[in-house]
Structure 1
Amino acid sequence: MLIFLALVAVPIIEIALFIEVGGWIGLWPTIAIVIATAVAGTALLRAQGMAALGELQRRLDRGGDPSGPLAHGALILVAGIMLLTPGFFTDTVGFLLLIPPVRALVIRHLAKRVVVIGARRMGRGAGPGMGAGGGQWGPGGPEDPGHATVETGYREVDEPAGRPAEPAEPGTGQLPRERD
């Protein structure tokens, strides 16, 4: 119901604002403002989106919680959509979402309504398929001694029906031997 109201209310608000602003300053200045806000919004969106992506990468490299940068990135995306939608109301909402403290306030408000059912993070400890001391994400990347590398191989096998291939030797990484 809330989405339906938004889909009806937002266009009505935009039409009313276009009529009012167009009556005050005229048609061409109104169109110029809409185009200018889209261009300025795109530039701000690109800069803030890259900053959010950089922060996300730093958090992941350190093995930290990526939820903050992901939430900010999602709201920056919403801001971009709002800025690219023609209108004064959507532009105002879009520009407000590009202000980090406003995003933090929105995230805090939305976090009260979100319930995390389950989450799992594989860190530096041993996990399924990992050796002792290995981890899916080592803090320093592939060159870090705590980073696990798994080497695999394959070969295509055309097996007759009812005759499965032999399994690999467990823990050796060797391909199954050919049957005679």
Structure 2
Amino acid sequence: MNFDGIEIDLLFARLALKEIPDSFDLRDDMLLKNLDQKCVRSLNGCRVTDEILRLVPNIENFRLTLRAIKLWAKRHGIYSNTLGYLGGVSWAMLVARTCQLYPNALPATLVHKFFLVFSQWKWPQPVLLKQPDSVNLGFPVWDPRVNLADRFHLMPIITPAYPQQNSTFNVSASTRTVIMEEFRLGKY
């Protein structure tokens, strides 16, 4: 959707509330109780973004680093979830993980460390910003111990909000090879 020349993603979720109180907190997993899968997916866009920001040590350094990495990914043709590369939330989680590993680093150092860390990452070891929550409201979560299909994901980057999902399920062997080569070249 476009509004005044600005592209907007507009999502809808139906909640079992008569009104939304001032104390409304999207982080409360119990909000998902009795919702259908579509509503949970809609809410989780905001929930994941909020959780990423909560988990980084310095939001401003995270944002500046993410802008640089997204620009780099777009210029190198590897910014597209639908084409089997990484989408915006995946890049955000990789940058957030770098920020967690180097909490006192400035953005220029974080960009350098980003390429260092992910050019050497032992895929398919998942990238996690935190250990998955033990909430069980019946929604499927990414778990290769339980879900056979999850064992075949090549570059799992797991969303931090319940229900945890792999944001890179579209990555194929060939796109992973391209991404890894770009990470390797990014070190220099």
Question: Which structure has the higher relative contact order (CA within 8 Å, separation 6+)?
Answer: 2
Kindly name which structure, 1 or 2, has the bigger radius of gyration based on alpha carbons. Answer: 1
Greater percentage in helix: 1
Q: Same fold (TM over 0.5)?
A: no
Normalised by the length of structure 2, the TM-score is 0.28
TM-score, length of structure 1 as denominator length: 0.29
